Chains A and B, each alone.
Chain A
Amino acid sequence: MTNKKTDIGIYIHIPFCIRKCAYCDFLSGPAGEQERTEYLTALLQEIAASGRKEGGPYRAKTVFFGGGTPSVLPGEQIGKILESLRQAFHVAEDAEITMEANPGTLTAEKLSRYRAAGVNRLSLGLQSMKNDELRLLGRIHTREDFFESFYLAREAGFDNINVDLISALPGQTCGSWEETLEETAALKPEHISAYSLIVEEGTPFYKMYGPGSSGELLLPGEEEDRKMYRRTAQLLGEAGYRRYEISNYALPGKECLHNLCYWTGIPYLGFGLGASSCFEGRRFSNTADWEAYLKNSENLALVRTVTEELTEKSLMEEFCFLGLRLSEGIDRKEFEERFKRPFGEVYGGVERRFVQMGLLEVRGRRLRLTEQGIDLSNQVMCEFLL
């Protein structure tokens, strides 16, 4: 019976953190005990409602707890959420169940409870090995906290750990970034995400370091930024990590399956405040209004807002601009099978132009971004919009 089910990914949003980081533009904030309880109740109701309405034909291959800082929730609460998911959906035996966690919020006991609840992959938000850089980011943890958390996680049996890193931080140099990379790789986490900082409008960071601010000069220059980015691929490559997506590196076979849902068109459902879904031909997202979510979480129609109907056109566009995030790029043959149109008829001009400029390259059936193409991926991707 499981054969007939369609694989999906599930995202659970935990909008709580100990303190908001200065560069963060995600939906989250600090919260008290009572708010957490209220939220958990609403979340469980939403999951149950979805299970009743649409749970039948699907099998969850991945579950991802993101935030915020999901690790502010104790093990029992994570356990309850997973329990309700198992009631609402068929969650595969071997499902990848990831939880984001912040160093500094973890104890041995907490970790073993997460583990017991079914969490089998941990994503640690380290960002930098340098304490002064961490302070500028507004992080609550130190490098020592991270080491402790990492070892505790290993001891608790986590054999699939991701570490998040950010380059181009204020005050960072290529040298200090290389040290962060080397020290991280030396711990042999299974997966490393390495982003280059984007100063997002609306964050305190934008005021501190955005265009025209006094801190702008603290940000590494463009040359330095690109140098760090290149060194990332080199250093991690030498340490045995394969880059499989613009910013993601993994030991062989340890790619994040949940992340791949986003790029390869596997449907996913998001639960919780502001969570996004791509499901049954639509993209929708939950309300970002706290009160409204708590009140209506049982009524999916009230909680969800459709952001996009996936037409043939938008599916073609997504196939390309999402697929190009992957190192292997997009399979033109697959495009033709899926959309019954020659790739060249739709995108021949764009392909030629960017190949000529050295931003795209053809590898057999596949078309992918070059090194330089990755740096300028927005420029390339936007041309795939029809």
Chain B
Amino acid sequence: MAADQKKIRNFCIIAHIDHGKSTLADRIIEKTGTLTSREMQDQILDNMDLERERGITIKSQAVRVIYTARDGEEYIFNLIDTPGHVDFNYEVSRSLAACDGAVLVVDAAQGIEAQTLANVYMALDHDLDVFPVINKIDLPSADPERVKSEIEDVIGIEAQDAPLISAKNGVNIEEVLEQIVEKIPSPSGDPEAPLQALIFDSVYDAYRGVIVFCRIKEGTVRRGTRIRMMASGAEYDTVEVGYFGAGQFIPCDELSAGMVGYITASIKNVKDTQVGDTVTDAGNPAGEALPGYKKVQPMVYCGLYPADGSKYGDLRDALEKLQLNDASLQYEPETSVALGFGFRCGFLGLLHLEIIQERLEREYNLDLVTTAPGVVYYVYKTDGSMVELTNPSNMPDPSVIEYMEEPFVSAEIMVTTEFIGPIMDLCQERRGVYLGMEYMETTRALLKYELPLNEIIYDFFDALKSRSKGYASFDYEMKGYVRSELVKLDILVNREEVDALSFIVFADSAYERGRKMCEKLKEEIPRQLFEIPIQAAIGSKIIARETVKALRKDVLAKCYGGDISRKRKLLEKQKEGKKRMRQVGNVEIPQKAFMSVLKLDDK
């Protein structure tokens, strides 16, 4: 059923977090009758429990719906939902590349936020036609007219006839559907040309192997087509093609230029189907791949260890399974003196890390010890070689280091003018380089900074929110590596170096971080039978020290009326508590202490 290209609209919805992207997607699916409202589960595109709980989209999702427009014609809408977090910027860009236009959702009360801008600019970079929709007009504080002029002034796109909607209450959704027909261009592309299909996501299915989500730019793919992934070079025979029903895969005969759908080909590993790669016909290959493909590099690394050493094999199996679905997750075995056998894992960002950690704990029932996340440093050695440092323990001896570089990002922070001061202070503290400021309107400004990634991966977002009473929004993208004075800070517990607690830090911050780290560990490590010195050191030089005093009194209270069971429970609890600690030398260190470095900025 080769559809008429003129009747297809491929689009995505872009928005700042919480402006109502997923809710609008739900309403579109509901209004076009793909599902009855009884079948609707809120936010249908967010499949994972985690996504629903956190209210953010993690994986790209797509759905095809049929809309009968006012002109009486039936249109096929392919709605591609994009991940809603800066960790997944590359995935977002590939999803956008699979579309021909975008619906920009803006909150009628909040107006434009940092992610609104970042997403719009990214969409415009991909030559998408963008039209705005003003959501949440039911809010008492809604001011659609102000937001309209803000969109026109700041972004420079026409907004006077933007639909005023309430996605939550289903108000004015038809107007959005009509504008999708009117304002988003139909796809082009030649069904007879050599195949070029853009992969924008993939999922692993235990029975069918990898299901590749793609947008056909040129040519046609059907069952039996021998396909080749142009970047990875892998070739497979197509088993099935189809499109996305709501929550299900619906097979069809072929996918041709302009269409969005999926391909299965008994592919065993998502690594062969990297997001951004081009699928072509091995028998009639395209001359070149579609532009924009990048191999995804992890930005943040940390050590993951099973709390119970005997679960190492389970952790390995779980990581293997997760990686089937998530090509951006990287891991390799490592050992730590303190923590035993585990894995050094690479993630796109801290959210990605948290998601993987949570999925390992929830879906695979693993109890994990996580070491402090760090970025990838470039170490230039005196012999002219360069090492990418992902684990602080592997830092070469300072005598052979010529210099080091650390990753920087360009950040844009949108803030109401009253908070410019505190936010600039924050960026200053985090070693930010001020680039400039633009006023959006009289009350809001966009601050531009370059910041070391290392300074923002932990708690920057929380600090930003707390210092702006929740009014600042933030977006960033990788800029590149910059030379920096960095040192490795070691932590000694009872005079023994605990490798899993070492971290890399900006030289000028070393004293303060070392001091805070010792203070934090003093809180985290319970008193034991002897005094425990906690020291921070750079090389052999001790720069900070705290002491956990020896435990003096730990006696059972009066054991009354022979209630031994209660006393036994107390002892059992105590013993259980010890199990959850790591023995380093003579000292028992609680698992959460290994994350202490993350909490140094608690105010």
Contact = CB atoms under 8 A, between A and B. Distances in A.
A137 interface: no
Contact of A66 (B561, B572, B575): B561
Interface in B212-230: none
Contact of A262 (B552, B562, B572): B562
B562 A276 contact: yes
B207 interface: no
A379 B551 contact: yes
A278 B529 contact: no
Contact of A376 (B551, B564, B572, B575): B551
A376 B550 CA distance: 11
Of A66, A375, A381, the most chain B CB neighbours within 10 A belong to: A381
Interface string B544-558: 000000011111111
B571 A382 contact: yes
Given A200-B557, A270-B561, A277-B562, A375 B571 contact: no
B571 A11 contact: no
Nearest to A166: B558
Contact of B555 (A9, A307, A322, A375): A375
B540 interface: no
Interface string A247-274: 1000000000000011000001010000
B561 A222 contact: no
A376 B557 contact: no
Nearest to B586: A357
A285 B554 contact: no
Main secondary structure of the interface of A (DSSP, over half): mixed
B557 A195 contact: yes
Interface in B331-358: none
A17 B564 CA distance: 23
Nearest to B578: A382
Nearest to A384: B571
Of B529, B553, B578, the most chain A CB neighbours within 10 A belong to: B553
A224 to B, nearest CB: 11
Interface residues of A, number: 47
Nearest to B570: A378
B562 A379 contact: no
A226 interface: yes
A198 interface: yes
A262 B575 contact: no
Given A247-B558, A321-B571, A382-B575, A375 B553 contact: yes
B284 to A, nearest CB: 71
B568 interface: yes
A116 interface: no
A301 B462 CA distance: 56
Given A222-B552, A246-B555, A357-B529, A381 B571 contact: yes
B529 A379 contact: yes
A131 interface: no
Of A246, A379, A383, the most chain B CB neighbours within 10 A belong to: A379
A6 interface: no
B565 A378 contact: no
Interface string B367-411: 000000000000000000000000000000000000000000000
Given A262-B559, A383-B575, A385-B572, A378 B564 contact: no
A226 B561 contact: no
Nearest to A269: B562
A196 interface: yes
B310 interface: no
A26 interface: yes
A283 interface: yes
B563 interface: yes
A275 interface: yes
Interface size for chain B: under 10, 10 to 19, 20 to 34, or 35 or more residues?
Answer: 20 to 34
Contacts of B561: 11, 13, 26, 66, 270, 275-276
A183 interface: no
Contacts, number: 96
A318 interface: yes
A312 to B, nearest CB: 15
A66 B564 contact: no
B557 A226 contact: no
Contacts of B568: 308, 314, 317-318, 321, 385
Interface in B115-149: none
A377 interface: yes
A359 interface: yes
A225 interface: yes
A81 interface: no
Nearest to A248: B558
Interface string B392-436: 000000000000000000000000000000000000000000000
A308 B562 contact: no
A379 B554 contact: yes
Nearest to A308: B565
A374 interface: yes
Interface in B544-603: 551-565, 568, 570-572, 574-575, 578
A335 to B, nearest CB: 18
B575 A226 contact: no
Contacts of A268: 562
Interface string A189-216: 0000101101010000000000000000
Contacts of A193: 558
A376 B553 contact: yes
A375 B565 contact: no
Interface in B513-569: 529, 551-565, 568
Nearest to B554: A378
A267 to B, nearest CB: 10
A376 B529 contact: yes
Nearest to B574: A382
Nearest to A321: B571
A285 B560 CA distance: 13
A223 B552 CA distance: 8
Contact of A283 (B558, B564, B575): B564
Contacts of A383: 575
Contacts of B563: 276, 285
A194 B559 CA distance: 13
B566 to A, nearest CB: 8
13 contacts: A11-B561, A198-B555, A246-B555, A247-B558, A283-B564, A321-B571, A375-B554, A376-B529, A377-B555, A378-B574, A379-B551, A382-B572, A385-B575
Interface of B: 529, 551-565, 568, 570-572, 574-575, 578
The 6 closest A-B pairs by CB, nearest first: A198-B557, A307-B565, A378-B554, A276-B563, A382-B575, A382-B571
Given A377-B556, A382-B578, 4 more contacts: A285-B563, A375-B555, A376-B554, A385-B572
